[in-house]
Amino acid sequence: MKKSSTKTLYDYWNGIRGSRSAPDRKDIDPTRIRDALANTFILELDDSNAFTFRLAGSHLCTAYSRELKGRSFNALWHERDKEAMGTLIRAVTEDHAVALVTFQGTTAVNTKTSFETILMPLRHNGSTQTRLLGAMTAVDEPYWLGVQPILEQRITGLRLIWPDDVASDDLGRDVAAKVAGEVAFSQSMAPSGIPAMVYGRSARRYAHLAVIDGGRQ
């Protein structure tokens, strides 16, 4: 996690969930994540079975030069990445993984910048399938960000952090198979099947994916 807003939100989410796989929506206190709030969002499942922004921080709306509330999250992604993103979202909502994604955002005049985004499960009315908590932050903030809106975004890297009781091997392979070949993986990942260390935890690499066991710590 490169950005403080990402780590702040993750640490807060991890703290309030306790022994649960995900905290409840009503547990979220915006005053406790004040430093990350402008980059924070909540997604909700709409009637077409796709995720839209229920809430979006001011920095996110600035990056896209428009209000994101009510807009499709899935539609932001390049066509090549939509299937992979759909699989990632299912890993979060159904298997209670945390997804950490880096992507490159491109404007109409072909200027580019990198972003980091995190997706975490959120319980609503007893279910984790209709809400997601996340943050999205520019890794660097070029002078043009907010003047030239991001129009296209492509995944450049991803990681999943799993709860202790989830068998992640098959889904890890499934996500990796759906990511385009040029997606880079972290240098901290070892060759396939060989243990590696990611964020100080043991991990296994599947193609571009690092599967981290024991994500509750």
> 209 is written with which tokens?
């994916």
Helix residue spans in the chain (DSSP H): 4-17, 58-64, 82-95, 169-177
**pLDDT tens string 108-126:** 999 999 999 999 999 999 9
End-to-end CA distance of the chain: 15
Say what the pTM is. Answer: 0.78
- Residue 215 pLDDT: 47
4-212: CATH number: 3.30.450.20
Strands (E) in the chain, as ranges, are: 40-45, 51-56, 98-106, 112-121, 131-138, 152-161, 196-198, 201-206, 209-212
Is the pLDDT at 129 greater than 60? The verdict is yes
Distances (CA, A) of 183 to 44, 71, 113, 168, 178: 27, 26, 16, 20, 11
Q: Domain residue spans in the chain?
A: 4-212
pLDDT of residue 179: 57
Q: How far is CA 107 from CA 63, 110, 149, in A?
A: 10, 5, 6
Tell me which of 180 and 150 has the higher pLDDT: 150
State phi, psi for 40 to the nearest 5 degrees. -90, 150
